Every structure is written in C-alpha cells, then in structure tokens.
C-alpha cells in the first residue's frame, strides 16, 4: 500500500508590507476596526512586476530544499491559484518551465481559498495510485490585482504570497484523509464577476474586482469549518483531543477562534498568520504551515488538521500525521 507524506514545505512573501493605517487614507476605516473585526495588522503586496509564478517558484524552491529531493525528482506539479499569470498556459506549466522540468504533468486547480486543500487531495490520489512519487503542490495568489481599493468591505482583507509543499510516496500515512466539497449555489456570495466567456470586455471594469457579501460568507464559514472538522474526525475515528495543531485557512481571526472552540483546542495549538499575512487565499494554509514548521512549533509525528473555506463555496480538510 502506498501513502503520501509531507517531505518539505516552503513559503514566500513579497517585500512590500502594507499596514492597516495606510487604508485610513483610502477608505472610511481604521486600524482599530480592522484589528478588532478581522485580527489583521498588515499584509504583503506583490511588486508591480511580481507574478503568481514568481512567488510560487520561490516557495517551491524552498519546499524542494526542505524535502531534500532533487528538482529532477519532482514528477507532478499542481498550482492552486485564482490569480494566474496568464489566461493560459497554466501557472503550473510556467513554474515547470522555470524549474527546467519537462514532460511531467503540470496543471492548475481553481478552488479559491480551498485551492490548496483541493491540490493536496488530488496529489495524494496521484501518489496513492502510483501516478506520482514526488508531487509539488503550490498555493500562490496575487489578490492585490483583483482588489477594489475603494471597497472597505473587502480591500482590507487580502494579501499576496505563496506556500508550497513536496508530497512524497511513503509506506505509511502521512495524509490520513482528505475531504473536499463545493456548493455553487453560493456563487455570488463571494466572486469576481468578470471572466472570459461571460464577456472579456468586463475585465477592465468594476466587475473585475472582488465582491463579497461579507456577513453571509462569515456565517457560512464558521458553520462549515465546524462541520468539516466533525466529518474528518469521524471518518478517521480520531478524538478531537488528539489533534496537535489546527492549521486553518486564514481569513478572519474570529472565524479561526470559532473553529478552534468547536475542537476544544486552545489558541496556542492553532497556527495563526492572518495578523501578518491577511487572507492569501489558496496560499494561506501552506504559508501558515511553513511558518510553524520553520519556527519549530510543529514537530514530526504530530497530528495536524488543515481546514479551508472559500468562494464557490468550496471547502475541505486534510488530516495528516506530520
Ligand atoms: O476566504 C474566503 C472567506 N472570506 C471570509 O471568510 C471573509 C468573511 N467575512 C468577514 O470576515 C467579515 O464579514 C468582515 C470582516 C468582512 C466584516 O465583518 P462583520 O462583522 O461581518 O461586519 P459587517 O459586514 O456586518 O459590517 C458591519 C459594519 C457595516 O456598517 P453598517 O452597515 O453597520 O453601518 C460595514 O459597512 O462594518 C462596516 N464595515 C467597515 N467599517 C470600517 C465593513 N468593512 C469595514 C471596514 N472599516 N473596513
């Protein structure tokens, strides 16, 4: 039986840091409101010429180093992103070229803030069925390009960055379970209306930016993070007290605290980066995981729960023995 395990992780954040105070000049908000309602203090923003593949590649190189595998050992690349460099080819193909790899499968996954969990689900299935041995899974996002900087309900919430993981074949898990879900009935609760088939001209209008019914998303995120945890624990016959670390999607500290409470987990067992990174969508879980691995909090052998919720709606979880 083949399983997959986390061999290494990496993260990348752009140099430019934007503090809450700077929003006070752009919209009717305050540092205090943003901290209190979201937990966010600052976020990183990509430089004008910095792309999703630039950030993803930087995170990927660190993950490959940490995994102690050669670049040439990578045999699958998945990039989770909703902010690709180009309409096509995929950002995964661009990363593949820049890693000087050829012929291995490379594709993007589009599941908004749940993208990295979807990517892990797919990579895990590839490895378990013999389709790959060393999968590179990247979450990379440049949300600053799709932010409406005049909408206080959304502009303060997001940041740019990338996280990556090398998932490798192993004799025992590793990844114990993945659960992914979607419900397109909520399409318009959180979306960027402009697209390609629906009218490419809209790409330079207000339709090209994030629109969100914040409170509706908030309520659904809280209830879904609870139900996905329950589903995961029961599928694995694991008690909530066995979870060593919760690594949730980083959208709002209040959502994260509610998720921790449902698991009876004290906040010092929850990895929180939303204060420093804001919401980096599909990059948020691998970035948070990488921070906590590199600072020594997360140790080999510990049981980790990843949980995500995002536009679609999409949601999912991964339970993993690190
Ligand atoms: O990653 C995908 C998932 N995304 C999320 O999970 C985000 C989910 N939503 C949220 O995090 C929260 O709903 C927000 C942080 C966006 C908003 O917090 P809230 O407590 O749900 O506030 P609200 O939307 O109910 O708005 C309360 C008030 C409103 O004013 P009125 O209508 O009561 O006068 C908003 O206009 O807060 C106002 N408001 C702001 N005030 C100052 C909204 N954004 C801001 C702001 N600064 N930036």
pTM over 0.85, yes/no: yes
% of the chain at pLDDT higher than 90? 97
pLDDT tens-digit map of 260-292:
999 999 999 999 999 999 999 999 999 999 999
Active site residues per annotation: 113, 249, 279
CATH 3.40.50.920 fits 3-172, yes or no: no
Q: What is the pLDDT of residue 206?
A: 82
CA distance to 87, 96, 107, 305, per residue, from 103 (Å): 21, 9, 12, 33
- C-alpha 222/C-alpha 227 separation (Å) is 9
CA atoms within 13 A on the CB side of 130: 1
Pocket of ligand 1 (CB under 6 A): 29, 33-34, 37-38, 113, 152-153, 156, 214-215, 217-218, 221, 251-252, 255, 279, 309-310
Q: What is the pLDDT of residue 108?
A: 98
Q: What is the pLDDT of residue 204?
A: 76
CATH code: domain 176-321 is: 3.40.47.10
Distance 172 CA to ligand 1 centre (A): 44
Q: What is the 3-state secondary structure (H, E, C) of 51-118?
A: CHHHHHHHHHHHHHHHHCCCHHHCCEEEEECCCCCCCCCCHHHHHHHHCCCCCCCEEEECCHHHHHHH
pLDDT tens-digit map of 99-146:
999 999 999 999 999 999 999 999 999 999 999 999 999 999 999 999
Q: What is the pLDDT of residue 208?
A: 92
Q: Length of the chain, please?
A: 322
Residues of the chain with pLDDT under 50: none
- Residue ranges of the chain assigned to CATH 3.40.47.10: 3-172, 176-321
Using most ligand atoms within 8 A of CB, pick from 26, 37, 224, 309 the residue to mutate for ligand 1. Answer: 37
Q: Are 211 and 150 in contact (CB under 8 A)?
A: no
Q: What is the pLDDT of residue 205?
A: 82
Q: What is the pLDDT of residue 92?
A: 99
């Amino acid at each position: 039986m083949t399983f997959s395990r986390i061999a290494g992780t990496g993260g990348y954040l752009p140099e430019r840091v934007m503090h809450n105070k700077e929003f006070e000049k752009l919209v009717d908000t305050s540092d205090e409101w943003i901290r209190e309602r979201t937990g966010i203090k600052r976020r990183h923003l990509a430089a004008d010429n910095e792309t999703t593949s630039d950030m993803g590649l930087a995170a990927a190189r660190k993950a490959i180093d940490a995994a102690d595998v050669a670049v040439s050992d990578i045999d699958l690349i998945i990039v989770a992103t909703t902010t690709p460099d180009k309409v096509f080819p995929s950002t995964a193909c661009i990363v593949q070229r820049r890693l000087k790899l050829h012929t291995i499968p490379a594709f993007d996954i589009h599941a908004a803030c749940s993208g990295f969990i979807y990517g892990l689900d797919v990579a895990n299935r590839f490895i378990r069925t013999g389709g790959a041995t060393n999968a590179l899974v990247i979450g990379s996002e440049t949300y600053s390009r799709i932010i409406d900087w005049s909408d206080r309900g959304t502009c303060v919430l997001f940041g740019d960055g990338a996280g990556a993981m090398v998932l490798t074949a192993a004799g025992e898990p590793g990844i114990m379970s993945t659960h992914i879900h979607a419900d397109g009935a909520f399409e318009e609760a959180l979306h960027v209306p402009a697209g390609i088939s629906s009218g490419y001209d809209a790409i330079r209008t207000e339709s090209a930016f994030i629109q969100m019914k914040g409170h509706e998303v908030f309520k659904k995120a809280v209830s879904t993070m609870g139900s996905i945890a329950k589903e995961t624990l029961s599928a694995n016959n694991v008690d909530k007290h066995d979870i060593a670390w919760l690594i949730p999607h980083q959208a709002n500290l209040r959502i994260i605290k509610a998720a921790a409470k449902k698991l009876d987990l004290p906040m010092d067992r929850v990895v929180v980066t939303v204060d420093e990174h804001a919401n980096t969508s599909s990059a948020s879980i691998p970035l948070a995981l990488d921070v906590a691995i590199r600072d020594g909090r997360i140790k080999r052998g510990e049981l980790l729960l990843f949980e995500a919720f995002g536009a679609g709606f999409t949601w999912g979880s991964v339970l993993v023995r690190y």
